[in-house]
Structure 1
Amino acid sequence: MSGRKEMRAIRVANYGGPEVLKVDPKVPVPVPSDTQVLVEVKAAGVNPVDTYIRSGSFGTTGRPLPYTPGSDVAGIVSKVGAKVTKFKPGDKVYVIRNVSGGYAEFTVAEETNVGKLPTHLSFSQGAGIGVPCYSASRAYIKAKGNFKPGNTVLVHGASGAVGLACVQIGKAKGLTVIGTAGTKEGMDLVLKHGAAQAFNHKEQGYIDKVLEATNGTGPDIIIEMLANVNLDTDMKIINKGGIIVVVGSRGNVEIAPRLLMFKESIVTGFALWNAPPEEIVEMHQVISEGLTKGWLVPSVQKEYKLEEAPLAHEEIINNTGTTGNRILIM
């Protein structure tokens, strides 16, 4: 149990570029309520959504400033509230959503958003569970109607943190998984995590290979990481009656609605925080099973020091090919 009163944490005083991420060495250590857990953070996940919030482009103008970014962490329980029953000081845990911010030496979270970190996972891997794995799990909940023996899922952008989780969960659910990546390293990682085939989405003609891999019918499910670039293509290649689940997009795109008519396909999307209680329970079950049985293993691409948070934000958006999670180490 920590007796510390102050901690180092990233504070954002104004919305803007990565340079607004500043280390403050004298932030008060948060105090847990009766239902909360105080966690000494060992590692914090950096997600693209963190950059959108930081820039002020994510409908966040109502968020009080300054704030500490980050939802996903892993660490050691330092203190528990009076009504907490599942955890005790000293437990190694991961957190999928916190109250005070994750880019910090300590954070508080509701007990319901804390899980025990399996011994075979590092703190860095534990910090890669939250947004990536739960987003992947919810993508499949959205596509549930297309789960049939022999069906194929294309993970369009499979080498990133969410994409790799989609590959692992898809394989565990019995689907044939095809993944794309932008580099040879990314393709190798996608195959290593269980995809039947991997293609380079920067190569001319890769879509022909996807169609060939699905006997010309196209995938039954497409999980799309960059809809502003790929949605029109997805609508052309999806199988009849298929579903496209949009996980990420960084701009607008023009589409031809007739493609929806010809294929009788569905395009849907989601925001993780909109998940109803019954879906949250289902996501918990899938993630817990995957972690326990060992088929869900977050992949860490790069680790950064806390003061390198601006670099992490820059590199998670601007890179030649993502291959896993980017993690801040305390």
Structure 2
Amino acid sequence: MCDVPVPVPGPLEVLIRVRACTVCNRSDLAYYHYYGLRDHCAQGCFGHEVAGVVEAVGPGVTRVAPGQRVFVRTPSTSGYADFALAREVAVGSLPDEVPFEQGAILQLLPLAVHATRGVRLGDRVVVIGQGPVGLMALRMAALRGAAHLTAVDLDAWRLERSMRLGADTTRHVDGTTEQLLGAGSDFDVAVDAVGTPTTLNACVSLVRQNGLVVMLGTHHVDTHVTVDLVTWERKGLRVHSSAEPLDTARAEALAVAERLVRTRELCLPDLLTHTYALDELPKAMEHLSASRVLYPDAERAPYDGPPRHTLKVAILP
């Protein structure tokens, strides 16, 4: 822990007094363990799932004002602090009835909104990985009108939550390709909410001809993935990622997220499982680090799956 100057918001920037910052089960863990080992782990924002109150705004900001409760899509500075800086385009309004520790989870919502943009009414959708972002994507696919939702995960406890959030079918797997492919076939959409070579290639096999593969899980550990392009071409697959490359897409997804928060359709209490004080951040990281996803896909790992009975962990300053 150390003291640093409070950031000063510049044009179109917002200073937020942090009230909660949830730990990203994928990016934050990768940044924490692979800093200095993967170049991109020194470039991301460690602690990017923030909720709090607007402290000050820079010139040109019109959407939010000091004193307003907000959540943040991605801040410019770490949320593991008393204050965080963010661009106005990344800040959404947080209703009074949503606790801050649940509000911080909403960083995932615009991501899931954008990731599921290709889901159409009546689609058959499979989501591999039922961590927080996979569960959020499952919920978004349900709200978009998917006719049948299949949830796949290594952890039976997480799959129980999948049923609460709209899954019609669940499949408990051990992570092998054979078991993943047993989830079915001819899905219209397959979402990789893990981010490993095995899960991405399984999605390719699970979708129908001309189906859609969604890359939602970030490939922080195995950054280079080999795919069979002949299969992609033969099946005529469509593919997109969850990232919003332009501010226009970011603003659209955030606007949808703000409307969804007011509907109470998101089941946020089901996603939050633990809270820690800011000075307990190392303890929280240790808790979450008992996870298979921190190890390369082909490497023998000391864990068979995610930490037991754990989804989102909130850090409270």
TM-score class, shorter-chain normalisation, is 0.7 to 0.9
| 1:17 matched residue in structure 2 | none
Cα contact 2:21–2:104 (8 A) shared by 1: yes
Structure 1 residues 80 and 254, CA gap change in structure 2 (3 angstroms): closer
| 2:183 matched residue in structure 1 | 210
Cα contact 1:42–1:76 (8 A) shared by 2: yes
What is the TM-score normalised by the length of structure 2? Answer: 0.81
What is the TM-score normalised by the length of structure 1? Answer: 0.78
In the TM superposition, what whole-angstrom CA distance separates every residue of 1:251-306 from its partner, at most 9, and x where no partner exists? Answer: 25544333324422234435x3x522332233123212211112124321322222
- In the TM superposition, residue 218 of structure 1 has moved relative to its aligned partner by 2.4
1:134 corresponds, among 100, 110, 124, to 110
Counterpart Cα distance in 1 of 2:42 and 2:240: 27
Structure 1 residues 232 and 96, CA gap change in structure 2 (3 angstroms): closer
| 2:206 matched residue in structure 1 | 237
Q: Identify unmatched segments of 5+ residues in structure 2.
A: 292-304
Where in structure 2 are the equivalents of 1:53-72 lying within 5 Å? 53-54=31-32, 55-60=35-40, 69-72=46-49
**AA of the residue aligned to 2:279:** E
Identity score, percent: 24
Counterpart Cα distance in 2 of 1:84 and 1:327: 28
Cα contact 1:241–1:263 (8 A) shared by 2: yes
RMSD: 2.7
Where in structure 2 are the equivalents of 1:102-141 lying within 5 Å? 102-130=79-107, 132-141=108-117
- In the TM superposition, residue 34 of structure 1 has moved relative to its aligned partner by 4.8
| 1:20 matched residue in structure 2 | none
Secondary structure, in 3 states, of the residue corresponding to 2:116? helix
| 2:235 matched residue in structure 1 | 263
Structure 1 residues 218 and 310, CA gap change in structure 2 (3 angstroms): farther
Counterpart Cα distance in 1 of 2:183 and 2:286: 31
Q: Identify unmatched segments of 5+ residues in structure 1.
A: 1-22, 212-216
In the TM superposition, what whole-angstrom CA distance separates every residue of 1:55-112 from its partner, at most 9, and x where no partner exists? Answer: 145534875xxx9732221112223335433333332211222233211011222233
2:278 corresponds, among 286, 289, 306, to 306
2:145 corresponds, among 174, 177, 198, to 174
Structure 1 residues 269 and 120, CA gap change in structure 2 (3 angstroms): same
Q: How many residues were matched structurally? A: 291
Structure 1 residues 203 and 193, CA gap change in structure 2 (3 angstroms): same
- In the TM superposition, residue 42 of structure 1 has moved relative to its aligned partner by 1.0
| 1:191 matched residue in structure 2 | 163
2:306 corresponds, among 317, 321, 327, to 321
| 2:300 matched residue in structure 1 | none
Counterpart Cα distance in 1 of 2:62 and 2:41: 36
Cα contact 1:227–1:246 (8 A) shared by 2: no
Secondary structure, in 3 states, of the residue corresponding to 2:67? coil
Cα contact 1:242–1:264 (8 A) shared by 2: yes
Cα contact 1:291–1:297 (8 A) shared by 2: no
